[in-house]
């Protein structure tokens, strides 16, 4: 039998049924008219932001990277909770706009920005985290034609990476950012141009659970920003220190010690070099803010035996939960936290695999794990579904279409 990942804190059962913000999920499924369904908890989201604010130095602003979850009600709620939004496409700019996000709060990073994306970002007053010298030239030309002042920060490809991160985004040859040694010359050019110079964006990796490693990366990031500012002799109005805060998905994963990160960062802030003494700092987080606040629900439509194995076949699958199926950037497939939502208080009675309704062996949501005995009609829950679920899964695959979503 394989183990399951740890169910995040804050989920309880009411009369044996998993509840979100005090509402049994059976009621929520009825409210939206069926499964598959993503349920997001506003209580857990607010708590998470509150805990993070309490742990981090006051000087540090908090940004939300909307690629983790761009469901409009989430964006609306987050716009009341965070100080900024990070987008990575013109499509995300539209989504943020539709949710009523103030575009002055938005910065736009990401390689391969097309002219129409630069155009709409510039006219909305969004800060561009530029990813190449050529992108700066295109942005300047577009701004020139439309009589706008571009707000430009440089995304730096740092010469280090975040140790132990699930996805490395810095160190060595990368399509992201501009190599550190070329940054001073470009920063100088931007400062001397008609653009508004906004500073640096330095992102070194994602999904780290080691607080020491994150603290060390933040220290290196501050050192790099100071070095670049001094070499270029430019001020640093803003500096985005990246993110990388991970959440426990798998058996044995421990929650990140944010207290340690906050204390170390406060120490760093107390002894900043003159080049950074007036800088506004932020971090940008996706999954840490929303990941554990989401649950994916699917209904068991068949229960089958094959060669001594039990399969709970559901109406959901990898088309909504690519990451939980192990097919989104993982090397070895391990189980996410999962449960039978309609038998939440029941003891483990059998070993079963939860699979989706797609005809591919990749479509497995929980592999050979212990569950109470579930039958057709029961609801299964996959936790840690608030980030990179709906926004990062191939919903159109096999003509299935997107899942329903609700923010409670
Ligand atoms: C993806 C991404 C994020 C968010 O990553 P999480 O692991 O969800 O926190 C933040 N910043 C940049 C530049 C990214 O590409």
Here the CATH number for the domain that contains residue 16 is: 2.40.37.10
CA nearest ligand 1 atom 8, residue:
286
Contact 389 CB / ligand 1 (< 6 Å):
no
For the residues 19-33, what does the mean pLDDT come to? 98
For residue 57, is it within any domain? no
The two tokens of residue 54 are 């309490």
pTM: 0.96
Claim to verify: residue 266 and residue 315 sit in the same structural domain: no
Rounded to the nearest angstrom, the distance between the alpha carbon of 195 and the centre of ligand 1 is: 26
> Which of the listed residues 230, 250, 285 is the one where a domain comes to its end?
285
Claim to verify: residue 75 and residue 153 sit in the same structural domain: yes
pLDDT at 329: 82
For residue 50, is it within any domain? no
Claim to verify: residue 280 and residue 297 sit in the same structural domain: no
Q: What is the CATH number of the domain that holds 223?
A: 3.20.20.10
Claim to verify: residue 228 and residue 302 sit in the same structural domain: no
What total number of domains does the chain contain? 2
CA nearest ligand 1 atom 5, residue:
286
The two tokens of residue 211 are 């607080």
Task: Select from 273, 130, 272 the least CA-distant residue to 196.
Answer: 130
Claim to verify: residue 164 and residue 230 sit in the same structural domain: yes
Contact 240 CB / ligand 1 (< 6 Å):
no
Q: Which structural domain range is residue 317 located in?
A: 12-40+293-407
Q: Which atom of ligand 1 is nearest to the CA of 166?
A: 7
Contact 387 CB / ligand 1 (< 6 Å):
yes
Model confidence at 9: pLDDT above 70: yes
For residue 342, is it within any domain? yes
Contact 285 CB / ligand 1 (< 6 Å):
yes
Contact 289 CB / ligand 1 (< 6 Å):
no
pLDDT at 165: 76
Model confidence at 157: pLDDT above 70: yes
DSSP state of 392: G
For the chain, give the percent of residues with pLDDT over 70: 99
Distance CA 304, CA 311 (A): 5
Claim to verify: residue 144 and residue 239 sit in the same structural domain: yes
Distance CA 258, CA 213 (A): 12
> Which of the listed residues 260, 285, 310 is the one where a domain comes to its end?
285
Contact 86 CB / ligand 1 (< 6 Å):
yes
Model confidence at 169: pLDDT above 70: no
Q: How many helices (H) and strands (E) does the chain have?
A: 10, 22
Contact 68 CB / ligand 1 (< 6 Å):
yes
Q: Which atom of ligand 1 is nearest to the CA of 169?
A: 15
Phi-psi region of 34 (alpha: psi -120 to 50; beta: other; left: phi over 0): left
- In degrees and rounded to multiples of 5, residue 2 shows phi and psi of -95, 150
CA nearest ligand 1 atom 14, residue:
65
Claim to verify: residue 368 and residue 324 sit in the same structural domain: yes
Claim to verify: residue 93 and residue 125 sit in the same structural domain: yes
Dump pLDDT digits (tens) for 67-110.
Answer: 999 999 999 999 999 999 999 999 999 999 999 999 999 999 99
């Amino acid at each position: 039998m394989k183990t399951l990942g740890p169910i995040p804190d804050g989920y309880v059962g009411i009369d044996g049924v998993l509840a979100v913000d005090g509402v049994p999920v059976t009621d929520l499924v009825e409210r939206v008219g069926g499964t598959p369904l993503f349920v997001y908890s506003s209580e857990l989201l607010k708590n998470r932001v509150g805990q993070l604010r309490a742990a981090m130095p006051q000087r540090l602003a908090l940004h939300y990277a909307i690629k983790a979850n761009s469901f409009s009600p989430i964006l609306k709620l987050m716009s009341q909770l965070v100080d900024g939004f990070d987008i990575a496409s013109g499509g995300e700019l539209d989504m943020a706009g539709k949710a009523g996000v103030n575009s002055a709060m938005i910065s736009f990073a990401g390689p391969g920005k097309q002219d129409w994306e630069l155009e709409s970002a510039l006219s909305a007053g969004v800060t561009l985290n530029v990813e190449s010298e050529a992108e700066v030239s295109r942005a300047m030309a577009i701004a020139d034609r439309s009589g706008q002042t571009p707000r430009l920060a440089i995304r730096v490809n740092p010469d280090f990476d975040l140790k132990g991160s699930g996805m490395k985004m810095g160190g060595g040859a990368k399509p992201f950012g501009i190599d550190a040694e070329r940054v001073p010359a470009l920063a100088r050019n931007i400062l001397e141009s008609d653009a508004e110079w906004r500073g640096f964006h330095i992102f070194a990796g994602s999904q780290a659970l080691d607080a020491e490693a994150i603290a060390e990366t933040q220290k290196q990031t501050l050192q790099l920003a100071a070095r670049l500012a001094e070499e270029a002799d430019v001020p640093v109005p803003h500096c985005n220190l990246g993110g990388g805060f991970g959440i426990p998905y798998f058996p044995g994963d421990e929650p990140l010690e944010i207290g340690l990160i906050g204390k170390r960062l406060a120490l760093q802030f107390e002894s900043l070099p003159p080049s950074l003494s007036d800088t506004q700092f932020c971090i940008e987080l996706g999954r840490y803010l929303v990941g554990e606040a989401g649950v994916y629900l699917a209904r068991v439509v068949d229960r089958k035996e094959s060669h001594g194995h039990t399969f709970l076949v559901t109406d959901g699958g990898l088309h909504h939960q690519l990451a939980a199926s192990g097919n989104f950037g993982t090397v070895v497939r391990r189980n996410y936290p999962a449960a039978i939502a309609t038998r939440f208080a029941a003891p483990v009675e059998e070993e079963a695999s939860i699979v989706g309704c797609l005809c591919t062996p990749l479509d497995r949501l929980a592999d050979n794990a212990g569950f109470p005995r579930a039958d057709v009609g029961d609801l299964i829950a996959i936790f840690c579904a608030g980030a990179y679920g709906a926004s990062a899964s191939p919903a159109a695959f096999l003509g299935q279409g997107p899942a329903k979503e609700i923010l409670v």
